[in-house]
């Protein structure tokens, strides 16, 4: 198989191919991703039977993880939308924050939710708020969607007990320093969030979303018929609470079969969907069926695009990329700051190549663990910075082979081209900010 620099160039060419096919020829992202899978697999000389199996496994793994979550999340979103529940929540947020603070408000909501919940699930659950808050505050919907997406993405890679940082800490032997990692993860998140809010507002202004299925906004004379804030929040908040409860109890080494069951994202969001159908139901049973069908229609295109991104990631995993990166890292003999930059680059290459931030953090930390004794890093702060610089690399960047990229694109209504010109750029800047903060912290305090 092809390895080394030619491998990196072919991976770059496959990503450019996706961009070219979707933007220039307006090819559906699903087809563009499948074509990129075959292009990369054949040019890298992956055995053809292995290429097919890699595509099937990547497609299936993503679908098994996110499939029902997307469907149940869509059910919650549609029932919140059509019942007026999302409007009620948006009105309440704007009442307390004011119209000028909607972008910081939704960014903060996303960052809090994503600490216990995967950002994919969080965006699916909260994306309806972007539209409602836009309608009530006259703030561009794209800006709000970007602020929500990047708020979720920030803590997803920086703050335990999110799985990525937890796994990275465990791999390098830093499980005993989680308190320090959480403290510095939150501290790093604050400037990152401030920058993403600014960029979301700036880049979002240039994106006009043309909703193919316009949302039904309650008429002014029907405002009093909106559901209560409590009923609107329960289907949204309860799944997040259940998932967070499971994460916290596992962190405390408390094992319960029932807690593990109800805190599984698929079960927690299913419970939220059932409650949405009960608490936010329409006046007639036939309308409830129609709403459910609408949710299925919305989730279908999202699922096939996301799964195709998983297939592309599966092909990338079948290449010798991980081995090449490992050799590159072991050969480094530079100072600590340059080692931090090298760790960041490795995580960024893995993230950009195979799509998953969590996988990038797991692989990079696994590569780092054997060489830590030689580096002499043994303090809580050194371990914390190592985990955070891995997280910063794992942010850089979210693009066409990342399931979260497609969730943001499809649920916000932004085209793939617009998403890559805004969300992808912001995720790159997020990562560089984390790298800069890591280096400064190292120089000042280590």
- In angstroms, the CA 7 to CA 5 distance is 5
pLDDT of residue 320: 83
Can you tell me the distance from the alpha carbon of 336 to that of 40, in angstroms, rounded to the nearest whole number? 35
3-class SS of residue 62: helix
Q: What is the pLDDT of residue 350?
A: 78
Instruction: Report yes or no on whether pTM surpasses 0.95.
Output: no
Both tokens of 273, joined, read 């969907």
Burial class of residue 37 in the structure, from the number of CB atoms within 10 Å of its CB (0-12 exposed, 13-18 middle, 19+ buried): buried
Average pLDDT of span 147-159: 93
Provide the pLDDT for residue 224. 47
Instruction: Report which of residues 314 and 189 the model is more confident about.
Output: 189
Tell the burial category of 6 from Cβ atoms under 10 Å away from its Cβ (0-12, 13-18, 19+): exposed
Instruction: Round the average pLDDT of the chain to a whole number and report it.
Output: 84
pLDDT of residue 218: 43
pLDDT of 91 over the 80 cut? no
Mean pLDDT of 55-77: 84
Average of pLDDT values for 112-135?
79
pLDDT of residue 389: 96
Residues 168-188 pLDDT 10s: 888 788 877 877 888 899 999
C-alpha span between 120 and 114 (Å, rounded): 9
The pLDDT assigned to 393 comes to 95
**Local confidence band at 222 (pLDDT 50, 70, 90 cut-offs):** very low
166: which 2 tokens? 């937890």
Say what the pLDDT of residue 20 is. 82
pLDDT the model gives residue 425: 96
Which of 97-101, 213-217, 394-398 holds the top average pLDDT?
394-398
pLDDT of residue 308: 83
* pLDDT value, residue 30: 86
Q: What is the pLDDT of residues 386-399, one digit of tens each?
A: 999 999 999 998 98
- Contacts for 75 with CB less than 8 Å, ≥ 6 apart: 273, 276, 277, 292, 295
């Amino acid at each position: 198989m092809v390895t080394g620099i030619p491998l990196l160039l072919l991976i770059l060419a496959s990503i450019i191919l996706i961009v070219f096919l979707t933007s220039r020829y307006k090819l559906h992202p699903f087809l563009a991703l499948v074509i990129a899978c075959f292009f990369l697999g054949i040019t890298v000389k992956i055995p053809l039977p292995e290429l097919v199996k890699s595509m099937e496994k990547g497609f299936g793994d993503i679908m098994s993880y996110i499939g029902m979550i997307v469907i149940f999340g869509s059910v919650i979103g549609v029932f919140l939308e059509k019942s007026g529940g999302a409007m009620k929540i948006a009105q309440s947020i704007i009442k307390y924050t004011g119209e000028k603070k909607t972008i910081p408000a939704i960014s903060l909501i996303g960052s809090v939710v994503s600490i216990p919940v995967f950002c994919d699930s969080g965006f699916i659950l909260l994306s309806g708020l972007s539209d409602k808050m836009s309608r009530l505050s006259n703030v561009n919907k794209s800006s709000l969607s970007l602020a929500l997406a990047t708020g979720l993405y920030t803590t997803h890679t920086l703050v335990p007990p999110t799985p990525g940082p937890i796994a990275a800490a465990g791999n390098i032997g830093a499980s005993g320093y989680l308190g320090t990692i959480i403290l510095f993860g939150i501290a790093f998140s604050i400037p990152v969030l401030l920058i993403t809010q600014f960029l979301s507002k700036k880049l979002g202004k240039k994106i006009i979303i043309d909703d193919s299925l316009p949302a039904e906004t309650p008429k002014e004379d029907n405002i009093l018929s909106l559901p209560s804030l409590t009923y609107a929040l329960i289907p949204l908040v309860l799944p997040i609470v259940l998932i967070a409860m499971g994460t916290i109890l596992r962190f405390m080494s408390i094992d319960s079969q029932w807690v593990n069951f109800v805190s599984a994202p698929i079960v927690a969001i299913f419970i939220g969907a059932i409650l949405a159908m009960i608490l936010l139901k329409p006046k007639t049973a036939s309308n409830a069926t129609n709403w459910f069908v609408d949710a299925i229609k919305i989730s279908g295109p999202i699922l096939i695009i996301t799964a195709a991104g998983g297939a592309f990631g599966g092909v990338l995993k079948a290449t010798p990329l991980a081995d090449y990166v490992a050799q590159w890292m072991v050969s480094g003999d530079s100072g600590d700051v340059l080692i931090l930059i090298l760790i960041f680059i490795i995580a960024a290459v893995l993230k950009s190549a195979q799509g998953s931030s969590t996988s990038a953090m797991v692989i990079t930390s696994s590569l780092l663990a054997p060489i830590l004794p030689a580096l002499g890093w043994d303090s809580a702060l050194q371990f914390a910075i190592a985990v955070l610089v891995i997280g910063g690399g794992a942010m850089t960047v979210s693009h066409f082979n990342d399931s979260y990229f497609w969730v943001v694109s499809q649920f916000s209504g932004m085209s793939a081209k617009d998403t890559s010109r805004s969300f992808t750029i912001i995720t790159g800047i997020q990562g560089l900010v984390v790298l800069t903060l890591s280096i400064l912290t190292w120089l000042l305090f280590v």
